[in-house]
Amino acid sequence: MKWGALFPGQGSQSVGMGKFLFDEFQTARHLFEEAGDALKQDMKKLCFEGPESDLQLTENTQPALVLVSTVTARVAHETTGIQIEASSGHSVGEYAALVHAGVLQFTDALQAVRARGRAMQKAVPVGQGAMCAVLGLQDDVVKKLCVEVEKASGFPLEPANFNSPGQVVVSGSAKAVEWMRENVKAEWMTEKLGPDSGKPKFIPLAVSAPFHCRLMKPAEEEMAVVLKGLTFSAPKTSVVQNLTASSSTSPEEIREKLIGQISGAVLWTQCQQELLGRGITKYAEFGAGRVLQGLAKKIAGDQAQVFGLNSIADLKALETATK
C-alpha cells in the first residue's frame, strides 16, 4: 500500500494546535523547545494559548504551522511506522514537506518561513491587497475572469490557489476584488465570458496580504536571498511542489520552485491529481485541522482516503490503517 502525506498551509491554524502531541510525546516537547530556541520565541505559548490575534500574524502563523506539521509527522512515524512514498504541502506547507523529505533542516525552515511571512506582509501595504474565493467556475474561466476584471478595473488580479474543482482563490489589488464583487453579475459573465461560463459566488478572505500573485515579487526577491543562503539536500522521498505540480530530485530545482511559489499560483488540485496518478490513494494530513482532507474529497471523491491527525484517537486510527 502506498501512503502519501499532505501538509496544510495558512488558514489551518488554531489556538491549541499540537498540544495533545506536546502533552503525550517527548519528541514533540523536544521539537517545540528547539523551535523556540531557533526563533527566540515561546512557541508553546503561541500555539497553545495564543491569543488568536498573535497566531494570525503571518510572521507567526507560518513558523507555527511548519512546527506543528513537523511534530505531527515525526510522532506519527514513531508511533505508527508509516512510510511515506510522496508528499505535497499547500503554500507554506511545502516547507514542512521539504523538512519531512530531508531537503531542508528543521530550524532552517522555521527561520526561512519567519522571513517569508515578514517579506510577504511588507510587500504590499495593509489594505491595498486582497484575496477572494471564487466558487462555481472552471479553472480556465477563472483565468479569463481575472483578465477581464483587470482590464475593466485597471488593477491587477490573478488566480492564486487552485484548491479544488470549482474553488479557486484570486489575489491582487483590493480595488480589483472590490470591482469584481460589485460588477460581475450573470449578464456580465455571459457578455464577457460566454453563455456557459457559469454563475460565480465570491467569498472575500480575511488575509493581511495578497499572496501568490505578482504583487508578491518584492517578497520573492527577498526570499531568493534567504533561500540561496540555506543548504538544500536531495530528497529522500518525492515532494510534489505547488509551482509546477511536479517533483524534482535536484536540490537547486527544488530551491528555484520554492522561490517562484511566492508569486506563483498554488496548483493544489493538480498536485493532488499528480499523487493520485502515482497510485497513492491513502494520505496522512500532517498538521493542524482538516482543510486538505476536505479538498481531497472534492478533488478525488472516494478515490482518496485522508487521515487527519488532531487527537490521540486520530493517531490510533492511522496506526490501525497502516497495519
91 catalytic per annotation: yes
Return the beta strands (E) in 177-318 as ranges: 201-204, 238-239, 282-285, 305-308
Residue type for position 231: T
Distance CA 177, CA 11 (A): 20
Distance CA 210, CA 207 (A): 7
Say which of 12, 69, 87, 91 is annotated catalytic: 91
Residue whose grid cell is 496522512: 284
Starting at the edge strand found earlier in the chain, the sheet holding 167-173 runs 157-164, 167-173, 129-135, 201-204
Q: Is the dihedral of CA 127, 133, 137, 138 positive or negative?
A: positive
Distance CA 148, CA 145 (A): 5
What are the beta bridge partners of residue 168?
134, 162
Of 241, 237, 235, which is closest to residue 271 (Cα–Cα)? Answer: 241
Of 277, 274, 208, which is closest to residue 243 (Cα–Cα)? Answer: 274
Q: Is the dihedral of CA 140, 211, 247, 320 positive or negative?
A: negative
Mind telling me the catalytic residues? 91, 212
